[in-house]
Structure 1
Amino acid sequence: MAAVLLALAAGVAVVAVALDPYRLVRLEFSRQRLSAGLSRGGIDVAGHHWVYAFSDDAPADAPVVVMLHGFTGSKENWYPVARRLRGHYRLVIPDLPGWGESERKPGEDYGFVAESARVDAFVRALSPARPVVLLGHSMGGGVAALVAARHPRDVAKVGLLDAAGVRFHDNRFGADVLAGRNPFAVADDASLQRYLDIVFHDPAAKPSIPWPASRGLIARRRHDAAFEQAVLDRIGRGPERFLPGDEAANIHQPALLLWCRQDAVIDPSALALYAARMPQAAQVMLDDCGHMSIVERPDAVAAAVTALIEKPSAPRP
């Protein structure tokens, strides 16, 4: 009887995966979250339902660290760093509205300005009593810069990692964006591999996505193509594309600027552009990694974040 039940269960699983191969991706994300010691939460804030990973496995007075992912990314990108910070700080890692498991609404604006307002509301909802340490990667870095500049009472310290929002030196990625193309677009196996090759430099860190999980991921990215292009047009070509860098001069909190020297997406020249506006920021340039510093070099990123958090802050005015 047990053998029959196992066979039936296996058959149901095969059918479920055949109908929805992206289920394998979701299962892998759940495995990664549990392996990192994180829980899953949800909250309705700023007109959207947010899904986030979190850990309260830290002293009650430990700093709250909020981590924002980048364009086409999700909360899972931060798990390697979270694994190294868990137990020391309270961690909150959301899918930004429009991305991952968080809610997306037709016709809504998901650019830098709109997302920054939503993130500030999210921060106040989850940490109403004290400001947070806000970390942002890539697009999330541009969002974090605006939140820190516009809502300084809600952000104690800020980290911008491979952050968008400034006019960096010309590269292939930037040229494609300005031409109205999405260099991250995924429609088949070849473009999925090209996407991974763009964002990763270290072959050892590049994820392997076997079939049929790859089929599910490709289908999901094809479904999201119009949404991705609309967001990229706004943050990469629209009038707000350099707003994070412009407003970075209003960031006076302790700050971290971290890049990888081989970043083929946000050229490393962006670090100096942000630093010119944020002279108080610690600067970290990592070697032998690309755009995905938080996956390729999680030990170094966690160490830099820890240094930011543990450095004593000057009294706030």
Structure 2
Amino acid sequence: MRRAALAACMMVATTAVPQTATAQEQAAPSAAPAHPYLTVAQLRKLYEDKQSRYVTIGELKIHYKDEGPRNAPVLLMVHGSESSLRTWDVITQKLKGRYRVVRLDLPSYGLSDGPTDEALKVLVPTDIPIGLLDHLKVKKVTYVGVSSGGTMGMYLAARRPDMVERLILSNTPSDPVDTSHLKLSQGLVDAMARAKETGFRDQDFWVQFLNFFAGDAKRMSAKTHREYWDFYRRVPEKNLIGLIARIGDGKQATIEMAKVRKPVLLLWGTADPLLPESALNAITRYLANAQISKVAMPDVGHYPPLEVPERFAQMIAAYIEGATPILPAEQ
């Protein structure tokens, strides 16, 4: 029961909490005051800013931001499931003076459209970053991803090595995710029980969720708690994780990871209860043909860009500017 419940939290498997019903099947905010859902239009009104831009990829409206000097090296930053491009807010502020920082909301998340049935017939997850980079006429990036956003990066580097100069991956799964070892906090257990009973994840759910997965819960601000609550009371999407990169049963993922032949920095919060140091060692083995550098942060949990953004930004810059291995010229 615990395993199934946590899978619901992480959105890495079929959810136990009803999150994938269509908007028609789930009542809209006006019809269900006990479940204060927000439409995408309402979220855009709340959270769009002067940096917000949209591109249409496969008939889906994808929200992105593109900041920094046009002629600077490009960082493409991709969030994980249960997140948004706001994951990178602080890091962007630290780095956009000398890098061009591009970040996006993946389909179903943040301010981007959710994938329709028709879109899923013609798109695969990596079509989204490829479509954005083609739209911006960006030829090569340093790809920075956390959690399943890192999975997307590995698949992109395997599919389009010409687009990826290096990868910076943080707390990224490489095996099918196993939650059986987790010892949940009582607060999260109680929050999941409420969610199972009501079919809705309340504001305290997100406080407990983020605190549990942090190395130090005090680093998770009230602002971050509020943003998670706002974005994940969005009217449920039918195909919530349809265009999220996933490990699945691991068979195809193992093949794709072996194709990666780029410099890779693994920035890992080893206090992550879901993907601890053993997961860092596992992804190192799977990326057997990449040139691996590793930094383990024993005081940090599953979301390093949220917990320690200043430190994370410093390590991105240090790796790009002074620590990336120099590879032989490609044949």
TM-score, normalised by the number of residues in structure 1: 0.73
Computed over aligned residues only, the root mean square deviation of the Cα atoms, in angstroms, reads: 3.9
Q: Is the 8 A contact 1:186 1:192 kept in 2?
A: no
Q: Is the 8 A contact 1:64 1:133 kept in 2?
A: yes
Q: Is the 8 A contact 1:196 1:206 kept in 2?
A: yes
CA distance in 2, matches of 1:146, 1:65: 17
Count of aligned residue pairs for this structure pair: 279
Question: Is 1:305 matched with 2:312?
Answer: no
Equivalences for residues 113-192 of structure 1 within 5 A: 114-128=124-138, 130-167=139-176, 171-172=180-181, 187-192=201-206
* Structure 1 gaps, min length 5: 1-17, 176-180
1:199 CA drift (Å):
2.8
Amino acid at match of 1:64: V
CA distance in 1, matches of 2:253, 2:265: 15
Question: Is 1:287 matched with 2:298?
Answer: yes
Aligned to 2:18: none
Q: Which has the higher helix share?
A: 1
Q: Is the 8 A contact 1:66 1:93 kept in 2?
A: yes
Bigger RCO (CA 8 Å, 6+ sep): 2
Structure 1 residue runs of 4+, over 3 Å off? Answer: 20-30, 167-175, 181-186, 209-219, 225-232, 241-246
Q: Is the 8 A contact 1:51 1:102 kept in 2?
A: yes
1:158 CA drift (Å):
1.1
Amino acid at match of 2:306: V
CA distance in 1, matches of 2:92, 2:98: 10
* Structure 2 gaps, min length 5: 1-32, 185-191
Structure 1 counterpart SS, 2:222:
coil
Aligned to 2:214: 200
CA distance in 2, matches of 1:312, 1:210: 35
CA distance in 1, matches of 2:225, 2:306: 22
CA distance in 2, matches of 1:174, 1:282: 30
Structure 1 counterpart SS, 2:300:
coil
Label 1:226 to 1:191 Cα distance change in 2 as closer, same or farther (>3 A). Answer: farther
Amino acid at match of 1:202: D
Label 1:150 to 1:288 Cα distance change in 2 as closer, same or farther (>3 A). Answer: same
Moved more, 45-54 or 152-161: 45-54
Label 1:267 to 1:168 Cα distance change in 2 as closer, same or farther (>3 A). Answer: farther
Aligned to 2:9: none
